[in-house]
Amino acid sequence: MRMMVIFLGLMVIAAGCAHKSGSKALPVTQGAQDEGAKGAGSEWETLVKESNERSQMGEYDLAVDLGKKALELAERNVGSNHPDVATSLKNLADLYMIQGKLKKAEKTHRRALAIWEKALGPNHPNVATSLNNLALVYKTRGKYTKAEPLYIRAVAIRETVLGFGHPDVATSLSNLAELYRAQGKFDIAEPLYKRSLMIREKALGPNHSDLAISLNNLALLYNAQGKYAEVESLYKRSLAIWKNELGPEHPYVAAGLNNLASLYHSQGKYTEAEPLYKRALAIDEKAFGPNHPNVARDLNNLAELYRTQSKYTQAKTIYQHSLSIWEKTLGPNHPNVATSLNNLALLHFTEGKYTEAELLINRSLAIDEKALGPNHPSLATGINNLATLYFVQDKFAEAEPFCNRALAIQEKALGPDHPDVAQSLENLAALYRKTNRDNEAEKLEQRVARIRAKRNGR
């Protein structure tokens, strides 16, 4: 039975949250443009600008306070159903997403969507933007069936209003593809990614930074399929574009370095991965300061590299530093904090410190269950880890209900043929073998083989 590694890769920089996986897609949502004072007034415009600046600096509580003041001012100046109010709501919802306050983000995005639909009509580009943002909340919460029709509607609006070759259509296609990738529906995701890439290359040229986003996200799909040669070439091409177009010190370059490092890390190429992680860390520290969530992400990844090399003292110090930044900037109940706790637990597990590991995993699970709900796939990862912890201590009776719960969550959220489902089935089969239920184990192992053969096209 295997404990699942959940170190973070690329954090979503715009409106979104980082969760447990190897790498993360670059931001693909588009928020409505803050169009300045169109009735709300210059003071509103100043508050919006200050809120955005504080957000970029990682000062999210202050950014929220400013965003709330902007919203109140807009409502007072132009009424509760004006597009400027929707803009303030969208900005505030983005901040709630970053902070992991997903229920607040959903409620706020829904209100913004209602205003734009009423003020601008159901087929306005801002409505498509709002649909994308609300869908992202649902995706982040694991509510994939709610996200899908919103993304599809956004694609249809943009195709109708802007034309099939518009870059915003590419963005919506990429968003929809990301949803399918998260569910393991790789055969549906791939043509959407490729169409998005084709649109951007034709509309923007071969060296645009948005094209690099498409290359990066296609690489994530291939990485999930184990097509590592294609992954490396796509990461390198996207990284070269960002360096050339945005400069070598841009946060997108740090993000690309993190993804390439994560690939090398997963392949055991530690000497290639380490300088890339360190370079990403240096870029983000220079861009955002030493206490920004992106810096915490970079530290977390570097710590995980050291853990896999059995450099436990170095790893522990860096994990704890990363955790302290996330707790300070995002609060103690953010999913990123849960990920950090789970990864620190993994360190204790590797060292054989099972009591310490169990405490951290349970704390991580409590955070994720509160933030994401009891049926989110990220929760299943932590539950599997807790089951593994009991398994290696021969506490099979304690491990089994957690194995079954993790499997049930993943089958419901991801479908019966997702790779994570195969891993959970494999874990449960190992437990059955240990408890002399060989017939039950064999049935699960056969199902695992069918899933993996299907994934490999056999």
Domains in the chain: boundaries: 1-5+15-159, 163-232, 374-458
User: Is 163-232 in the same CATH topology as 1-5+15-159?
Assistant: yes
End-to-end CA distance of the chain: 25
Nearest Cα to Cα of residue 88 among 119, 64, 124: 64
Give the CATH number of domain 163-232: 1.25.40
Nearest Cα to Cα of residue 108 among 83, 146, 134: 134
Residue 378, CA distances (Å) to 44, 87, 189, 333 in order = 38, 31, 21, 15
395 backbone dihedrals φ, ψ, rounded to 5°:
-95, 70
Q: What is the DSSP string of 299-325?
A: HHHHHHHHHHTT-HHHHHHHHHHHHHH
Q: Per the CATH hierarchy, to which homologous superfamily does domain 374-458 belong?
A: Tetratricopeptide repeat domain (1.25.40.10)
3 state DSSP class of 250: coil
264: its two tokens:
């090398």
Distance CA 326, CA 336 (A): 7
Q: Give CA 36 to chain center in angstroms.
A: 30
DSSP 8-state class, residue 348: H
Torsional sign, CA 417, 421, 423, 424: negative
pTM: 0.85
Q: How would you write the pLDDT of the chain (458 residues) with one tens digit per residue?
A: 655 444 443 322 222 222 233 344 443 344 344 433 357 899 999 999 999 999 988 899 999 999 999 999 999 999 999 999 999 999 999 999 999 899 999 999 999 999 999 999 999 999 999 999 999 999 998 899 999 999 999 999 999 999 999 999 999 999 999 999 988 888 999 999 999 999 999 999 999 999 999 999 999 999 888 888 899 999 999 999 999 999 999 999 999 999 999 999 999 999 999 999 999 999 999 999 999 999 999 999 999 999 999 999 999 999 999 999 999 999 999 999 999 999 999 999 999 999 999 999 999 999 999 999 999 988 999 999 999 999 999 999 999 999 999 999 999 988 898 888 999 999 999 999 999 999 999 999 999 999 988 876 65
3 state DSSP class of 356: helix
Q: In CATH, what class is 1-5+15-159?
A: mainly alpha
Report angle CA 118, 121, 127 to the nearest 5 degrees: 90
Residues in the chain, how many?
458
3 state DSSP class of 166: coil
